[in-house]
Amino acid sequence: MPVDDLWLAVGQDPDGTWWFDAYFIGRVTLLGGAPRAVAFAQWLLASPPKGRYEKEFMLVDGEPQSGSRRLTDGTRLTVEILLGREEAGEPEYLQVLPSGEVRNYAFEVCAPLECKRVVRAELEAAATRLLTPRA
């Protein structure tokens, strides 16, 4: 499925390169590779509290980029993922917060960033796929 439908994706190319893709960033290399993808999957699989909560995971932390169709070469990209619930009994939400620096100018994505409702079973299935060794 296109990332526009998935909203965000983490995956691996046949050559072993790990990547992150989001509809407002485009596909970029996940420089932390497999260990970062595993840490992200384990973070997603952690049992959420029953009530209101918010937790964060730094998926990309100030990493220089190149080869992206949407980011200027040399952009230092940070991508923070938030997972939470506004009130007890409500669905969880997931939000992607990209920011960074280009030519010594800081930026944040200012487009309306909606919180995507999370279906826990789908989230856990996706995280489990990240942890499943490829044949």
Continuous H helices in 1-135: 3-6, 33-45, 120-131
| CB of 68 closer than 8 Å to CB of 40 | no
pLDDT confidence bin for 114, thresholds 50/70/90: low
pLDDT confidence bin for 31, thresholds 50/70/90: confident
* pLDDT, tens digit, 9 for 90 and up, residues 72-112: 888 888 989 999 999 988 889 988 888 889 888 888 876 55
Q: Which of 7, 58, 8 is nearest to 36 (CA)?
A: 58
> With a threshold of 0.75, does the pTM exceed it?
yes
Q: What is the pLDDT of residue 113?
A: 55
Per-residue pLDDT averaged across 13-35, rounded? 85
Decide if pLDDT at 126 tops 50. Answer: yes
Q: In 3-state terms, what secondary structure has residue 58? A: strand
pLDDT confidence bin for 39, thresholds 50/70/90: very high
Per-residue pLDDT averaged across 27-52, rounded? 91
Decide if pLDDT at 62 tops 80. Answer: yes
